[in-house]
Structure 1
Amino acid sequence: MKSAADIAAVLFDKDGTLIGYDASWGPVNRELAAIAAEGDAELADRLLLACGMDPVTGHVKPDSLLAAGNTAEIAAGLIAAGSPCALQPLTERLDRLFTEAAGKSVAVTDLQAFFGRLKDRGYKLGVASSDNEASIRELAKRFGFDVYLDFVAGYDSGHGVKPQPGMVLGFCEATGLKPEQVAVVGDNNHDLHMGRNAGAGLRIGVLTGTGSRDSLAADGDYCFDDITGLEALLPNRAFV
């Protein structure tokens, strides 16, 4: 296992990492399929299946479109699977849905306290999501950890999309750190591949989203049940 001794910053994914995926996104996925199907229930089920969610069980496949895609990719996938909607209006409608969903999200822990403890221990902190930037900021404000963030990036923030390295590199530019000083934390391989492509110091998987221990094993240095496992791994940098 790689050492955490040189880590000075943590870049978190949002969905499935800071908020529990099933509790937060199951209802949203069903709503986005209904929107894309224009009310046709049978079509909505087919769209969900095509994008990675079993409409009966609600299970979402690791690294599927719904698990890892950004809004524009999801909209394009829905259209490719049979949605009669046009791409731009559907993308805009889904972006609004995802921003509204921040108010219904279920956090995996007390995020205000968790981020506060990491900040007090000397770490730079950021969030990089395939969701839009507005929804990230809304979620951070709702759960009270916005004041601890040094960086926020969504798919529409100008840093590229996962698994490209741009969000990690943007975080480094904002904090004055090198990629090898950054730990990337996420629930699927898009997150871990982003970290690898950027040369991040650590890639850490969590099991509160769509990934499994097996699916994350090949690409992660560590895998925790949830983000609180980081606290035992990361040393105190407050007096470094």
Structure 2
Amino acid sequence: MTKIAAVLFDKDGTLLDFDRSWEPVNRRAALYAANGDQALANRLMQACGMDPESGRVVPDSLFAASSTGEIARAMIDHGAPFALADLTTALDRFFFEGAADAVPLTDLVTLFTRLKARGLKLGIASSDNEASIRLMAESKGILGLLDYIAGYDSGHGVKPGPGMIHGFAEATGVPAGQVLMVGDNTHDLHMARNAAAGLAVGVLSGTGTREHLEPIADHVIDGVDDLVTLLDELEAA
């Protein structure tokens, strides 16, 4: 059995309710990028993988899995009248402002405390900017339970590259082969594979579906609340 000594979490759709947290933020960001033109904003949302009517986001789309710079580039390619650097900065501001009000999928303090009690190192790796991740973690009371935080701008590269997991391993002294990566998109699971992580676990609480996740994941669970049970089962095996 693979020895697991650390767990690295994706953020949106894994720890946070994706739709409740980010649908209104994505709408405001798209309208800003469209310079107030609602018709263009709708096209920008569609380009980034969000249905303007329902608010649903497509698995592995830009809004679901990509960095702010990648989102900004796509919006510009589809008509947003901004320079890339300016739009990236503006979108990061929207995402930062939404971080404190993001809606958790579970009692994060209880979950992280239980995992810490097992002796596990814990981290978050997100395509969001690092400042937003830290603000979310602080507002939800888990910042002090984390050993590592990585965003797209933390210097480890972006998903699905292996850098965020390699950074986690270096920061904690845990080999990548003993890291369990958990996320709701194939970007997270491909990152685990690219980094030779110990386990890749998909969750169905975000934008990813079982059909998308099962071909890549070692395990697929309904949500992070099932992670402790999975770890118990792995140890028993």
TM-score > 0.5 by shorter chain = yes
Shift of 1:120: 0.9
* Equivalent residue number for residue 126 of structure 2: 129
Establish whether residue 200 from structure 1 lines up as the match of residue 197 from structure 2: yes
Q: Secondary structure at the match of 2:100?
A: helix
After the TM superposition, which residues 1-240 of structure 1 pair with which residues of structure 2 at under 5 Å, given as runs?
3=1, 5-235=2-232
Distance 2:97 2:78 in 1: 25
Q: Deviations over 1:5-62 (max 9, x none)?
A: 5011000001111101111111111111101001000000011111111101111111
Counterpart residue identity of residue 157, structure 1: S
Distance 2:79 2:213 in 1: 31
Distance 1:87 1:221 in 2: 38
Q: Secondary structure at the match of 2:122?
A: strand
Distance 1:49 1:199 in 2: 34
Shift of 1:151: 0.5
Q: Secondary structure at the match of 2:115?
A: helix
Shift of 1:107: 0.1
TM-score of the two chains, using structure 1 as the length reference: 0.95
Distance 1:57 1:134 in 2: 29
Counterpart residue identity of residue 141, structure 2: G
Distance 2:168 2:223 in 1: 22
TM-score of the two chains, using structure 2 as the length reference: 0.96
Q: Secondary structure at the match of 2:149?
A: strand
Counterpart residue identity of residue 65, structure 1: L
How many residues are matched? 233
Shift of 1:93: 0.6
